[in-house]
């Protein structure tokens, strides 16, 4: 079995490097099919057992274990109501498979009042074993349309309770159109994505969708209201064709205490969005050590609202974010001369020196 990361919370193995490696290239440096999901974690089983009898891909299943329970090696089919009606909090799901068919709806509905963790879990459409166009996993994501058909897709994982802290660690997520979650509550309680593989968004041409219901494609997000904070996104692969954002903080209210560090980012519309206001008013935003890869073509460019970034009174930091470009890459806005150069939030161009 390909090795999983030796340390949780996004520390990659020693093979490869940020600028020389890509997901699914055999190095295991970035999160990919070899080191995330329910088949890759410690003590993983090839055949997770069903949580309940009679589950169907378009049905619902209640997941209401005792508070503090650790659920390991289980399969959930259809929409999962986790912690529904106040039954089940501070839950951990490890080496679990969540699959179903819920176009324009939520695969895992989280009601836990305080916290929930997903470690080495897979979230995917029912009936498909691998993403259409990327079943051999030779690239981070399929480079061609259309992806999972709308009729077989699912849309969100959602954190629905104010004050809820959700953690996704070494998870494999595909065939969907976004992952909604609440942020943390401060005092060290961070909503967290670490070492996750988020890829192959569904229905990139909106084929088969009812009129007006085609997807906006987001990796982490969308957060369309704004005002949220205490979120950590670290050591993840977020790569797909799509029309909105790999990191989709799209609201107009002030974002705060957001850390985005050491991720592999490629594709989407504008690849990263952090706040939609002009003048920009976010605070305590840290964006460091990320690789923006030309592997997948973006529709518009790297950073939404480019030029709006400011120091936030000295609370915001942008450093060591770099372009990765290879000959033949799908994104043609940059050339191999841009490889290794620095990505600035002010103009979406490459620079010989770091942003300050």
Of residues 5 and 271, more confidence is placed in 271
Same domain, yes or no: 288 and 324: yes
What is the number of structural domains in the chain? 2
Q: Please report, for residues 2, 183, 193, 255, the alpha-carbon distance to residue 232 in angstroms, rounded to integers and kept in the order given.
A: 26, 9, 6, 13
| Residue 225 domain flag | no
Residue among 96, 88, 51, 90 at smallest CA distance from 72: 96
Same domain, yes or no: 27 and 156: yes
> Once rounded to an integer, what is the mean pLDDT over residues 251-255?
87
Same domain, yes or no: 211 and 245: no
Give the model's confidence band at 14: pLDDT under 50 very low, under 70 low, under 90 confident, else very high.
low
Same domain, yes or no: 338 and 210: no
| Residue 261 domain flag | no
The residue segments making up the domain with residue 297 are 241-254+266-356
Residue 89: its pLDDT value, please?
96
Same domain, yes or no: 137 and 21: yes
Same domain, yes or no: 289 and 201: no
Same domain, yes or no: 2 and 108: yes
| Residue 175 domain flag | yes
- The span from the CA of 35 to the CA of 195, in Å, is 9
pLDDT in tens, 112-168: 999 999 999 999 999 999 999 999 999 999 999 889 999 999 999 887 666 789 999
Residue 15: its pLDDT value, please?
78
- The span from the CA of 42 to the CA of 51, in Å, is 20
pLDDT at 227 exceeding the cut of 70: yes
Residue 103: its pLDDT value, please?
93
Same domain, yes or no: 197 and 296: no
Q: Identify whether the C-beta of residue 38 lies closer than 8 Å to the C-beta of residue 122.
A: yes
Give the model's confidence band at 228: pLDDT under 50 very low, under 70 low, under 90 confident, else very high.
confident
- The span from the CA of 147 to the CA of 67, in Å, is 38
Same domain, yes or no: 188 and 278: no
pLDDT in tens, 257-289: 999 999 999 999 999 999 988 888 899 999 999
pLDDT at 182 exceeding the cut of 90: no
Of residues 92 and 305, more confidence is placed in 92
Same domain, yes or no: 13 and 139: yes
Sign of CA dihedral 344, 347, 350, 354: negative
Give the model's confidence band at 10: pLDDT under 50 very low, under 70 low, under 90 confident, else very high.
very low
Same domain, yes or no: 273 and 210: no
| Residue 260 domain flag | no
| Residue 67 domain flag | yes
pLDDT in tens, 322-352: 999 999 999 999 999 999 999 999 998 999 9
Q: Which residue carries 């085609």 as its tokens?
A: 214
Same domain, yes or no: 184 and 278: no
**54-58, 251-255, 272-276, 299-303: least confidently modelled range:** 251-255
Residues of the chain above pLDDT 90, percent: 79
> Once rounded to an integer, what is the mean pLDDT over residues 301-313?
91
**Which pair of tokens denotes residue 74?**
């289980």
Residue 13: its pLDDT value, please?
58
Residue 24: its pLDDT value, please?
98
> Once rounded to an integer, what is the mean pLDDT over residues 57-65?
97
> Once rounded to an integer, what is the mean pLDDT over residues 225-239?
92
pLDDT at 2 exceeding the cut of 60: no
Q: Please report, for residues 9, 249, 294, the alpha-carbon distance to residue 319 in angstroms, rounded to integers and kept in the order given.
A: 21, 19, 19
| Residue 232 domain flag | no
| Residue 199 domain flag | yes
Q: What is the mean pLDDT of the chain?
A: 91
| Residue 234 domain flag | no
Residue 190: its pLDDT value, please?
92
What's the chain look like in SS3?
A: CCCCCCECCCECCCCCCCCCCCCCCCCCCCCCCCCCCCCCCCCCCCCCEECCCCCCCCCEEEECCCCCCEEECEEEECEEEECHHHCCCCEEEECCEEEECEEEEEEEEECCCCEEEEECCEEEECCCCCCCCCCCCCCCCCCCCCCCCHHHCEEEEEECCCCCEEEEECCEECCCCCECCCCCCECCECEEEECCEEECCCCCCCCCCCCCCCCCCCCEEEECCECCEEEEEECCEEEECCCCCCEEECCCECCEEEEEECCEEEECCEEEEECCCCCCCCEEEEEECCEEECCCCCCCEEECCCCCCCCCCCCCEEECCEEECCCCCCCCCCCHHHCCCEECCCCCCEECCCCC
């Amino acid at each position: 079995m390909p090795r999983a990361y030796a340390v949780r919370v996004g520390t990659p193995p020693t093979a490869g490097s940020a600028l020389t490696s890509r997901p699914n290239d055999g190095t295991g440096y970035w999160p990919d099919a070899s080191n995330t999901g329910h088949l890759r974690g410690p003590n993983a089983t090839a055949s997770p057992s069903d949580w309940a009898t009679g589950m169907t891909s378009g049905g619902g299943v209640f997941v209401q274990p005792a508070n503090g329970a650790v659920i390991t090696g289980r399969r959930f089919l259809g929409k999962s109501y986790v912690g529904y009606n106040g039954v089940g909090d501070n839950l951990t799901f490890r080496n679990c498979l969540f699959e179903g068919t819920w176009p324009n709806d939520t695969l895992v509905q989280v009601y836990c009042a305080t916290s929930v963790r997903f470690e080495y879990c897979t979230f995917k459409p029912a009936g498909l074993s691998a993403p259409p166009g990327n079943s051999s996993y030779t690239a981070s994501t399929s480079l061609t349309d259309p992806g999972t058909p709308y009729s077989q897709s699912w849309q969100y994982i959602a954190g629905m309770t104010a004050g809820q802290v959700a953690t996704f660690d070494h998870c494999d997520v595909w065939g969907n159109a976004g992952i909604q979650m609440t942020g943390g509550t401060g005092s060290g309680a961070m909503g967290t994505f670490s070492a996750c593989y988020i890829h192959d968004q569904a229905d990139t041409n909106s084929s088969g969708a009812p009129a007006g219901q085609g997807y906006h494609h987001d990796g982490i997000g969308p957060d369309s209201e704004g005002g949220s904070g205490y979120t950590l996104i670290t050591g993840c692969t977020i790569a797909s064709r799509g029309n909105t954002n790999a990191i989709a903080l799209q609201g107009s209210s002030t974002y705060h205490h957001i850390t985005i560090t050491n991720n592999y980012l490629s594709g989407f519309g504008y690849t990263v969005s952090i706040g939609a206001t002009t003048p920009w008013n976010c605070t305590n935003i840290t964006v460091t050590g990320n690789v923006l890869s030309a592997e997948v073509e973006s529709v518009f460019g790297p950073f939404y609202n480019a030029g709006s970034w400011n120091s936030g009174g000295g609370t915001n930091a942008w450093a060591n974010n770099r372009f990765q470009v290879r000959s033949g890459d799908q994104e043609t806005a940059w050339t191999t001369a841009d490889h290794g150069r620095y990505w600035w939030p002010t103009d979406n161009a490459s620079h010989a020196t770091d942003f300050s």
